[in-house]
A and B are shown apart, each in its own frame.
Chain A
Amino acid sequence: MIAQNFDYLTPVSLAEAFDLLNDPGAKVMAGGMSLIPMMKLRLAAPERVVDLRHVPGLNKIQQDGAMLRIGAMTTHHELESTPLVRAACPLLAQAAAAIGDVQVRNVGTIGGSIAHADPSADYPAALQALEAEIRIAHRGGERTVLAKDFFQDTFTTALEPNELIVEISVPLEAKCTGASYQKMLQPASGFAIVGIAARVSMDGGKVSMVRVGVTGLGGSSYRAANVEALLVGSEGSAADIGKAAAVVAEGIDANSDIHASAEYRAHLARVYTARALSAAIARAEAQ
């Protein structure tokens, strides 16, 4: 469990980080919770590791109008425990709390996790449901990508080489909106076998807005627009939920491994979609 030799570089500004990342042998590291194990197993052997922890300004959490702006280097623990996040965007706090174990949450970061784009990671489901905006910087510029366009496939994102995630923005939860993240965890790794994030707004006894994000089921996280379409405008009854949840896995080539078959994953996606929607509606109605 010993990595190959590598240079460890700690830029103190984004500009310096971009300089260092010009080197094709360089790999950026945020919390290192995925990179370091892979290096120790020698599945990854970067010549240079560029650690972003000393780049200032990347771990702020701030409210900006109707948005909550989260620095890419914010740790899972900060997201699960910061009162502002818990109040203004409980879904993100729930997803953060569902990650791995305490040690991982103390070190791992949201930017690192989504850049890695593990198909079973917890954040992507929440970010899909939140229609999060991911602000990406490169030398001399920035662009913003929506979560649905950011997560492309297994370990594949819209991020280009020499680009860095600097911030993730999510909307402040509106009134009469409830959210829930529900996952079945794989007992060995704690990753999601499936994880479902749901946000629902209720207006006059009807579902006025619903967003469903899915992780773990296929090669990439996705927003289940078909589920949303079936539920919006309904009363959000158990029957409505059941009908909508039933289509969550449609058209998805579900993953299969020693922990869960494709068939079981698809079934779990339906069950957990219904559970997440029920919990979200109950919360929305409680407001």
Chain B
Amino acid sequence: MKIHGSHALPAGAARAYNLLQDPEVLASCMPGCEKLVKVADGTYEMKMKMVLAAVSGQFDGKVRITDPDPPHSFKLVVEGTGRIGFMKGEGLLRITPGGEQCTVQYDGDVHVGGTIAAVGQRLIDSTSKLMIKRFFDKLCERAAAASAP
């Protein structure tokens, strides 16, 4: 499944880029992320618990940041495996500066497998959009909070 979209962040490009590389920030913004541990440069191990409606599932996974081009763009690879299925997402994040603000554009591909792929086709699109939205909403809060005097 292709995903793409853009979100505005109340932060300059350089700071937005750094926020997006900060494991603590990522962990606090990724919906359900319980743990994000750096295991190598640009590679993190992740534990997350997805809770949506009655669905809940634990995922163990990896987050990798590749092709860094600060403060313009980087590639984000997220992989997760759990009892209810597995997913792999790969996307290019591009940051367009706009003074105090910036816009984060993402363009990528998500592959979903296992039970969620077999029985949840109807809901994968709207659910992933919701997750991305929650991520950026939280990220905005973080960016705003950090920039507050």
Using a CB–CB distance below 8 Å, which chain A residues touch chain B?
27, 34-35, 38-39, 41-46, 116-120, 153-156, 186, 189, 191, 218-219, 253, 255-259
A30 nearest CB across to chain B (Å): 12
B48 nearest CB across to chain A (Å): 16
Interface assignment of B123: CB less than 8 Å from any CB of chain A: yes
Q: CA A189 – CA B125 in complex, angstroms?
A: 17
Closest to B134 in A: A153
Q: CA A154 – CA B120 in complex, angstroms?
A: 13
Closest to B130 in A: A154
Contacting pair A44 B130 (CB below 8 A) = no
Q: Could you tell me the dominant secondary structure of chain A's interface residues?
A: loop
In the complex, chain A residues whose CB is within 8 Å of the CB of B120 = 43
- Beyond A116-B53, A256-B125, A259-B121: 15 further Cβ-contacts under 8 Å? A34-B53, A34-B54, A35-B54, A38-B53, A38-B55, A43-B55, A43-B57, A43-B115, A43-B119, A44-B53, A44-B54, A44-B55, A155-B52, A219-B129, A219-B130
Contacting pair A42 B130 (CB below 8 A) = no
State which of A35, A120, A154 has its C-beta within 8 Å of the C-beta of B52. Answer: A154
Total contacts A-B at CB 8 Å: 70
Contacting pair B54 A255 (CB below 8 A) = no
Known: A153-B133, A257-B121. A42 touches B115 (CB 8 A): yes
Q: List 24 A-B contacts (CB under 8 A).
A: A39-B54, A41-B115, A42-B84, A43-B57, A43-B119, A43-B120, A44-B53, A44-B55, A119-B123, A120-B122, A153-B133, A154-B123, A154-B126, A154-B127, A154-B129, A155-B52, A156-B130, A218-B126, A253-B129, A255-B125, A255-B126, A257-B121, A257-B125, A258-B121
Q: CA A92 – CA B55 in complex, angstroms?
A: 28
Q: Could you tell me the dominant secondary structure of chain B's interface residues?
A: helix
Interface assignment of B83: CB less than 8 Å from any CB of chain A: yes
Q: CA A219 – CA B52 in complex, angstroms?
A: 13
In the complex, chain B residues whose CB is within 8 Å of the CB of A44 = 53-56
Known: A34-B54, A117-B53, A155-B53. A41 touches B126 (CB 8 A): no
State which of B56, B116, B122, B133 has its C-beta within 8 Å of the C-beta of A257. Answer: B122
Closest 6 CB pairs of A and B: A155-B53, A44-B54, A154-B126, A154-B130, A43-B55, A219-B126
In the complex, chain B residues whose CB is within 8 Å of the CB of A218 = 126
Using a CB–CB distance below 8 Å, which chain B residues touch chain A?
5, 52-57, 83-84, 115-116, 119-127, 129-130, 133
A251 nearest CB across to chain B (Å): 14
Contacting pair A186 B122 (CB below 8 A) = yes
In the complex, chain B residues whose CB is within 8 Å of the CB of A258 = 121
Contacting pair B122 A191 (CB below 8 A) = yes
In the complex, chain B residues whose CB is within 8 Å of the CB of A118 = 53, 123
In the complex, chain B residues whose CB is within 8 Å of the CB of A257 = 121-125
In the complex, chain A residues whose CB is within 8 Å of the CB of B83 = 42
Known: A43-B116, A153-B133, A154-B130. A189 touches B54 (CB 8 A): no
B45 nearest CB across to chain A (Å): 24
Closest to A27 in B: B54
In the complex, chain A residues whose CB is within 8 Å of the CB of B119 = 41, 43
Contacting pair A153 B125 (CB below 8 A) = no
In the complex, chain B residues whose CB is within 8 Å of the CB of A219 = 126, 129-130, 133
State which of A34, A43, A153, A255 has its C-beta within 8 Å of the C-beta of B84. Answer: A43
Max count, chain A CB within 10 A of own CB: residue among B84, B123, B126: B126
Q: CA A41 – CA B121 in complex, angstroms?
A: 14
A181 nearest CB across to chain B (Å): 20
Closest to B83 in A: A42
Q: CA A38 – CA B119 in complex, angstroms?
A: 9
